[in-house]
Amino acid sequence: MATKKKQVRPITKAAAEEAIAGTLHNLPESFLTCRDLRHSWRVQDNFLDVGMQVEPGRHVTKTVQRRLRCITCGTMRDDYYALIEKPNFAPRLEKLSSQYKYPKDYQMRPGASTRDIAVSQLVRYETLRRVLAATKKSS
Ligand SMILES: [Zn+2]
């Protein structure tokens, strides 16, 4: 006997865009600024020794972490690097990975797919909308 599969109604692109625009409409100013212009990073902790496991045989003599903090929205970013000291080569710091810790409500709703949507265009529009609203109020 064939079992009836549960129908999942696909969300249209227009509906998804509308949902994102709605979220942006209520986003704090600092979050909108960072989504529009990217984060303004400042060093919080510089190159702390972290002793990460790195695959052997790569001349990694040390692993370090640099913690950055966005001065606009407070997002924290931890970058991990491997110090590579190879004979006959200049020493270098190779980036291994980055981890972000966002302030509450910075990220879009969990599960909200932004694939195929030009979120940056919606962000810029929301910035324009607020500028126009502020201009209207002050005149
Ligand atoms: Zn930021």
pLDDT attached to residue 58: 79
> Which domain does 86 fall in, by range?
39-104
* 39: its two tokens: 């984060």
Residues 48 and 98 in one domain: yes
93 in any annotated domain: yes
Note whether 78 and 116 are same-domain residues. Answer: no
Residues 123, 74, single domain; the answer is no
The structural domain count of the chain equals 2
Task: Judge if 49 and 99 occupy the same domain.
Answer: yes
Residues in the chain: 139
d(CA 58, CA 38): 33
Question: What is the signed CA dihedral for 104, 105, 111, 117, rounded to 10 degrees?
Answer: -130
Dist. CA 127 → ligand 1 center (Å): 15
Residue 137 is assigned to a structural domain of this protein: yes
Return the pLDDT at 55.
77
Q: How many Å lie between the centroid of ligand 1 and the Cα of residue 62? A: 29
Q: How far is the CA of 75 from the centre of ligand 1 (A)?
A: 6
Within-domain flag for 59: yes
Q: Are 79 and 101 in contact (CB under 8 A)?
A: no
Residues 83 and 62 in one domain: yes
31 CB burial (10 A radius; 0-12, 13-18, 19+): buried
The answer to whether residues 116 and 90 belong to one domain is: no
Residue 38 Cα to ligand 1 midpoint, Å, equals 6
Angle subtended by helix axes 29-37 and 119-138, to nearest 10: 130
**Where are any strands of DSSP class E within the chain?**
41-49, 60-70, 76-84, 92-101
How many A from CA of 52 to the centre of ligand 1?
27
In a domain, 55, yes or no: yes
Q: Using alpha carbons, select from 37, 15, 31 the residue that is nearest to residue 112.
A: 15
Same domain, 23 and 72: no
In a domain, 74, yes or no: yes
CA 84 to ligand 1 centroid distance, Å: 31
Residues 60 and 18 in one domain: no
Question: Which pLDDT tens digits describe the chain residue by residue (139 residues)?
Answer: 555 666 666 678 888 888 889 999 999 999 999 999 999 999 999 999 998 888 777 788 899 999 999 999 999 999 999 999 999 999 999 999 999 999 998 887 655 566 667 889 999 999 999 999 999 888 7
In a domain, 34, yes or no: no
**CA 72 to ligand 1 centroid distance, Å:** 5
